């Protein structure tokens, strides 16, 4: 057994966060979340050594989380952070509870926020309804930008943070694909539909500013437009959803869901969709199978057993 067993809990906590950031390449946001979840555990546990983590402590912690009014899914985030910390301790040869002793709470199936295909069509066409705008005016440029954003989100399934970090030279319009750096610095290839390519080309052809960002804010008095933020993109989608008469909440993530379900319903396999979405685990992608299961039910109802009387 290494001398590490004598290291304090605080020190191991800090070293684990550094390991996540440096060795595992996790985003700062993820590291912050792990920090918060583990702090909560250690505040509850009041232990000085990791050898004090045992079944009884974990059982009491689960009760504490459950009685704290947290949703099952949120309770699981806390437990996953603890489980991964225990895996790290085992990897370093430090005495503690085995990570497989941490069982997760049974969370309800996740409901996907989806809109119908008709609603999607209306949403994608909504910027074209901004009629009567003189060509070349900031408003007309804004409309072209917004149409390019909507088409690109649906064509690629990009996360909103990936979309806003694109530069003009990130996308080569002579090709149908480009690389994007996603969560955990993972690079993946995404593909452009004809309509997305056309919308981006029309937007970039009209641009006259020198900003390197692909999508920029057209403020009233800014000389050099600034890069759009994820929050701004969310507002843009909300605006067009209302314009398209969609009562459900429409976010960039809803278009990512629509991208994935569209592929699966049309016959794509789960592994391919996992790669296109940039999910590190297939279990994250499996949430979409419930949607396709529903569509299969409709297909079964429509086509099965028709000749039987």
Please report where in the chains the tokens 């390197």 appear, as a residue: 212
Rounded to whole angstroms, the Cα distance separating 33 from 55 reads 24
Domain boundaries along the sequence of the chain: 3-101, 117-300
The DSSP bridge pattern shows strands 187-191 and 177-181 to be antiparallel
Please report where in the chains the tokens 């999508």 appear, as a residue: 215
Rounded to whole angstroms, the Cα distance separating 266 from 287 reads 17
The token pair at 224 is: 């050099």
What topology does CATH give the domain 3-101? Answer: DNA polymerase; domain 1 (1.10.150)
256 belongs to the catalytic site: yes
Question: Rounded to the nearest 5 degrees, what angle is found at the Cα of 172, between the Cα atoms of 171 and 175?
Answer: 120
159 belongs to the catalytic site: yes
Catalytic residue among 147, 159, 197, 257: 159
Q: What is the pLDDT of residue 82?
A: 97
203 belongs to the catalytic site: no
Rounded to whole angstroms, the Cα distance separating 178 from 175 reads 8
The token pair at 167 is: 């530069």
CATH superfamily of this structure's domain 117-300:
Intergrase catalytic core (1.10.443.10)
| C-alpha closest to that of 176 among 186, 166, 189, 165 | 189
Rounded to whole angstroms, the Cα distance separating 249 from 69 reads 25
**Who contacts 282 (Cβ-Cβ below 8 Å, separation ≥6)?**
270, 271, 274
240 belongs to the catalytic site: no
- Identical fold for domains 3-101 and 117-300, yes or no, is no
Rounded to whole angstroms, the Cα distance separating 275 from 52 reads 40
- Max alpha carbon distance in the chain (Å)? 77
Catalytic residue among 87, 181, 183, 207: 183
Catalytic residue among 143, 253, 257, 271: 253
78 belongs to the catalytic site: no
Per residue of the chain (309 residues), give pLDDT as tens. 344 444 689 999 999 999 999 988 888 888 999 999 999 999 999 998 999 999 999 999 999 999 998 888 899 999 999 999 999 999 999 989 999 999 888 776 666 678 888 999 999 999 988 655 544 455 789 999 999 999 999 999 999 999 999 999 999 999 989 999 888 778 999 999 999 999 999 999 999 888 999 999 986 555 678 999 999 999 999 999 999 999 989 999 999 999 998 888 888 888 999 999 998 888 888 888 776 676 667 777 777 766 665
Q: Is the pTM of this model over 0.85?
A: no
Q: What is the pLDDT of residue 138?
A: 56
307 belongs to the catalytic site: no
Catalytic residue among 288, 301, 304, 308: 288
Strand partners for 250: none
């Amino acid at each position: 057994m290494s001398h590490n067993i004598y290291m304090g809990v605080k020190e191991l906590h800090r070293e684990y966060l550094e390991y996540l950031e440096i060795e595992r390449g996790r985003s700062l946001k993820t590291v912050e979340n792990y920090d918060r979840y583990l702090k909560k555990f250690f505040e509850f546990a009041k232990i000085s050594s990791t050898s004090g983590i045992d079944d009884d402590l974990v059982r009491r912690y689960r009760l504490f989380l459950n009685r704290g009014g947290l949703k099952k899914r949120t309770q699981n985030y806390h437990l996953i952070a603890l489980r991964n910390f225990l895996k790290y301790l085992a990897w370093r040869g430090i005495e503690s509870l085995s990570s497989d002793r941490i069982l997760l709470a049974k969370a309800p199936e996740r409901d996907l926020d989806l809109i119908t295909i008709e609603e999607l069509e209306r949403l994608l066409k909504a910027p074209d309804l901004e009629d009567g705008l003189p060509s070349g005016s900031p408003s007309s440029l804004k409309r072209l930008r917004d149409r390019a954003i909507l088409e690109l989100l649906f064509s690629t399934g990009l996360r909103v943070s990936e979309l806003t970090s694109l530069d003009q030279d990130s996308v080569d319009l002579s090709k149908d694909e480009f690389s994007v750096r996603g969560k955990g610095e993972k690079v993946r290839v995404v593909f452009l539909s004809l309509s997305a390519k056309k919308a981006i080309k029309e937007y970039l052809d009209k641009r006259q500013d020198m900003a390197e960002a692909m999508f920029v804010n057209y403020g009233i008095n800014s000389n050099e437009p600034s890069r759009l933020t994820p929050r701004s993109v969310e507002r843009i989608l909300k605006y067009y959803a209302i314009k398209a008469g969609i009562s459900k909440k429409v976010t960039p993530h809803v278009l990512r869901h629509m991208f994935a379900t569209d592929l699966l319903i049309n016959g794509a396999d789960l592994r391919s969709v996992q790669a296109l979405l940039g999910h590190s685990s297939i279990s994250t992608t499996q949430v979409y199978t419930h949607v396709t299961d529903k569509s299969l039910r409709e297909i079964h109802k429509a086509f099965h057993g028709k000749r039987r009387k």
